[in-house]
């Protein structure tokens, strides 16, 4: 692995077209994301409105030589209120920028921003196979907690999804409260 010189910073509206281009390539060509149609820029801007400069829901980009080469996000896991302290994370690099350490720098940046936030668990759903995604999630302390079979259909076939979980923050349940 060659380490790329990368700056990781919160995303701005000006980054969205690069983010959309990276994502839409994976939408069109891979099973890694279960979106099946490319996202329009209007839809991407609406998506971006769910992220903030503070709190649980963040979007960071990796910039190399002035160009956005990838992004990572933390999103709401499920809508019901008790799920609030769980987030789902996601990470995508431009295909020419993989396997050079940029993904690890993105996740470092994302999890640093989440320090001190009211988050207890992070989840990542990895459509299989995807050895690079498994490797980076394990590197960041995610553990496989479930294997759902044929959970999605794309390109005319079903795909299994492995769900990974990572404890975030230091507040355990109080045993006295059980
Ligand atoms: C998954 C992804 C974000 C990882 O980022 P990356 O910059 O390639 O990963 P890094 O270079 O930081 O390496 C992180 C670990 O993954 C390993 N890795 C990277 N590419 C790999 C590959 N193709 N196969 C197996 N392991 C791989 C590295 O060796 C490293 O392992 P280590 O911690 O044991 O040293 C990136 O490959 C990517 O964008 N892939 C396509 C999109 C995608 O699959 N996103 C995730 C959807 S769930």
Overall fold of domain 7-177: Aminopeptidase (3.40.630)
Reported as a single tens digit per residue, the pLDDT across 16-33 is 999 999 999 999 999 999
Report which ligand 1 atom has the smallest distance to the Cα of 126: 48
Output the pLDDT for position 169.
86
Question: What is d(CA 94, CA 102) in angstroms, rounded to the nearest whole number?
Answer: 10
**Contact assessment for residue 77 and residue 29, using Cβ atoms and an 8 Å cutoff:** no
82 CA from centroid of ligand 1 (Å): 32
Output the pLDDT for position 42.
98
Q: What is the pTM for the complete model shown?
A: 0.95
2 CA from centroid of ligand 1 (Å): 13
Average pLDDT, the chain: 95
Domain-wise residue ranges, the chain: 7-177
155 CA from centroid of ligand 1 (Å): 23
Is a pLDDT exceeding 90 seen at residue 14? yes
Reported as a single tens digit per residue, the pLDDT across 38-89 is 999 999 999 999 999 999 999 999 999 999 999 999 999 999 999 999 999 9
Is a pLDDT exceeding 70 seen at residue 3? no
**Contact assessment for residue 74 and residue 57, using Cβ atoms and an 8 Å cutoff:** yes
Q: What tokens appear for 7 in the block?
A: 């700056």
Pocket test for ligand 1, best of 103, 107, 109, 159 (most atoms within 8 A of CB): 103
Is a pLDDT exceeding 70 seen at residue 15? yes
- Residue 129: asked if its preceding bond is cis (omega within 30°), the reply is yes
| 106 Cβ inside 6 Å of ligand 1 | no
Residues 107-128, mean pLDDT to the nearest whole number: 98
| 131 Cβ inside 6 Å of ligand 1 | yes
Question: What is d(CA 70, CA 178) in angstroms, rounded to the nearest whole number?
Answer: 42
pLDDT classification of 5: cutoffs 50, 70, 90: confident
């Amino acid at each position: 692995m060659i380490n790329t010189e990368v700056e990781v910073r919160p995303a701005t509206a000006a980054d969205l077209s690069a983010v959309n281009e990276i994502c839409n390539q994976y939408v069109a060509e891979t099973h890694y994301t279960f979106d099946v149609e490319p996202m329009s820029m209007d839809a991407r801007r609406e998506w971006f409105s769910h992220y903030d400069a503070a709190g649980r829901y963040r979007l960071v980009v990796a910039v190399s030589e002035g160009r956005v080469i990838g992004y990572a996000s933390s999103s709401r896991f499920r809508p019901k209120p008790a799920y609030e302290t769980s987030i789902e994370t996601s990470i995508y690099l431009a295909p020419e920028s993989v396997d050079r350490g940029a993904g690890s720098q993105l996740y470092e940046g994302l999890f640093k921003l989440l320090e001190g936030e009211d988050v207890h668990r992070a989840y990542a759903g990895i459509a299989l196979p995807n050895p690079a995604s498994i490797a980076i999630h394990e590197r960041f302390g995610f553990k496989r907690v479930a294997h759902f079979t044929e959970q999605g259909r794309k390109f005319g076939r079903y795909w299994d999804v492995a769900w990974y979980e990572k404890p975030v923050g230091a507040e355990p349940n109080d045993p006295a409260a059980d």
